[in-house]
Amino acid sequence: MHDKTISQLATALRDGEFSSVELTRHFLDRIGQHQDLNAFVSVDEENALAAAAAADEKLASGNADPMTGIPVAQKDIFCTEGLRTTCGSKMLENFIPPYNATVIEKFIAAGAVTLGKTNMDEFAMGSSNETSYFGPVKNPWDHKAVPGGSSGGSAAAVAARLAPIATGTDTGGSIRQPAALCGITGIKPSYGRVSRYGMIAFASSLDQGGSMAQTAEDAAIMLNVMAGFDERDSTSLAIDKPDFSASLNDDIAGLKIGLPKEFFEDGLNADVARVVENAIDEYKKLDAELVDISLPNSKLAVPCYYVLAPAEASSNLSRYDGVRYGYRAPEYDDLEDMYKKTRAQGFGAEVKRRIMIGTYALSSGYYDAYYMKAQKLRRLIADDFDRAFEQCDVIMGPTAPSTAFNAGEKTDDPVQMYLNDIYTIPVNLAGLPAMSVPAGFGNDGRPVGLHIIGQYLNESRLLNVAHQFQRVTDWHSKTPEGY
């Protein structure tokens, strides 16, 4: 059962091959068997089986939705009523939300079954899933390697077939980079396409929820559930939602693929470049046209991002003060001492680093010098994409400059860690949709992802382009040994 895509599982459920309870039990057992991955922070067995039983009743009535009875793993950044939501932090270790995030509500309404909450970098700050208070997640392809971050638990769970699909969030590449490193499909929609209500904030102008799955087809089915206007989210787009599955099989002959020269220069590992070039050759066989383009300001995206994101994080994380909810220091002298000790004890090193950087960038005398200049540069990066899309339909390149690196390899060098997102960060700064699809393996046997970037609100074209690649290749069906 765990080798099937959700479209295949949905057919099997309707045909009565097995029940949702049996399917859910199967995945719960697999989660229990592979706890060494540390992919899950919480497993909600009782409620999962109850939801599966309700789904079976709906299936029996013949009134089921495409996602009815399908198990899903939720990133532990989405608030879940009655089930703890930690955001990978000691600060929220025992926090149980009194409400559901909009994304969670939508999955419940669609009849999906929540298996549990997946591990993640603390407050989504990290590129390797090593900053989690609950310990690092292992990459199913090689336990010595990181799974990527911050959605590393979700990526590892899907790659190891502990869940058929999982939710993720992407602030600077946190869906696409772990998808690439774990050999799965992941899509970050356009900013505003998926509601952020109940999604714990890191950087509010960059965060976006998205889907992680085996295939582009499954990602489209998920996005049909997740997307849509939400009046509770002021950044949610009040526009009609298309059927993201409708154009999957459209012919891509004549598709113009932009290849930015900046994405294939120094810093890209040769084995990753080889895999990406081979993937692009597959598109040439499908009669796509290659166009050389330039994104000249993309090389400045990382420093731009690491001013803007920490600045927003320092503001968003100011609410964790030990007063209203979350962790509170057990011993303190007065209110100010409680604030200091709570935040010192409750946050990890990476979160503290970003809070300090952000507070500095927003402080008097430095706001104009750093924050405002970064905002101007963000506009230039977005303009680069606008000009590029006058010449092409989609942009392609590597998702990450290397395959998954070993755990501990970059923890002492934050700059090297940050550079792992060099190809993904520009997309978030511009608010564009993008996805990573499995494209092969590096010399070390670890997965490589092909990065596909689309025009604003054109997720349907992205999914179509990815699906056509997966029709003629089988990289997405590869499973790590032992899983």
Catalytic pick among 7, 20, 75, 128? 75
Give me the pLDDT at residue 385, please. 98
| Torsion of Cα atoms, 186 then 219 then 434 then 358, to 10° | -60
| pLDDT for the residue 418 | 87
174 is a catalytic site residue: yes
- Answer for the pair 375, 304: CB distance below 8 angstroms, yes or no: no
| The pLDDT of residue 413 | 87
Distance CA 149, CA 95 (A): 22
**Cβ count within 10 A of residue 309:** 27
In the block, tokens 């495409």 appear at 66
The count of domains in the chain is 1
**Contact of 483 with 161, CB cutoff 8 Å:** yes
In the residue annotation, 75 being an active-site residue is answered as: yes
| Burial of 332 (C-beta count, 10 Å sphere; 0-12/13-18/19+) | middle
Which residues does residue 394 pair with via DSSP β-bridges, in sequence order?
257
Catalytic residue among 7, 20, 127, 174: 174
Q: Which residues of the chain have pLDDT under 70?
A: none
DSSP-derived letter for residue 83 is: B
Q: Contact 163/171 with Cβ under 8 angstroms?
A: no
Alpha carbon distances (Å) from 349 to 89, 108, 421, 462: 11, 35, 20, 37
Query: Residue 194 gets which letter from DSSP?
Result: B
- pTM recorded for the entire structure: 0.97
CA distance linking residue 339 with residue 263, whole number of Å: 44
Note the pLDDT tens digit of each residue in 284-301: 999 999 999 999 999 999
First to last CA, the chain: 12
Q: What is the pLDDT of residue 412?
A: 86
DSSP string, 286-334: TT-EEEEE--GGGGGHHHHHHHHHHHHHHHHGGG-SSSSSS---S--SS
Burial category of 52 from C-beta neighbours within 10 Å (exposed 0-12, middle 13-18, buried 19 and up): buried
Encoded tokens for 290: 């290659």
CATH number for position 392: 3.90.1300.10
Could you give the CA distance from residue 109 to residue 345 in angstroms, rounded to a whole number?
A: 38
CB 447 within 8 A of CB 441: yes
For residue 483, what is the DSSP state?
Answer: -
- The whole domain housing 319 covers 1-483
Give pLDDT, residue 419. Answer: 86
Give the active site residue among 20, 127, 132, 150.
150
Q: Are strands 256-260 and 447-453 parallel, antiparallel or unpaired?
A: unpaired
Is 150 part of the annotated catalytic residue set? yes
Cα–Cα distance, 286 to 396 (Å, whole number) = 15
pLDDT for residue 63: 86
Residues 6+ positions from 98 with CB-CB distance below 8 Å: 81
pLDDT tens-digit profile of 444-468? 999 999 999 999 999 999 999 999 9
Q: What is the pLDDT of residue 365?
A: 85
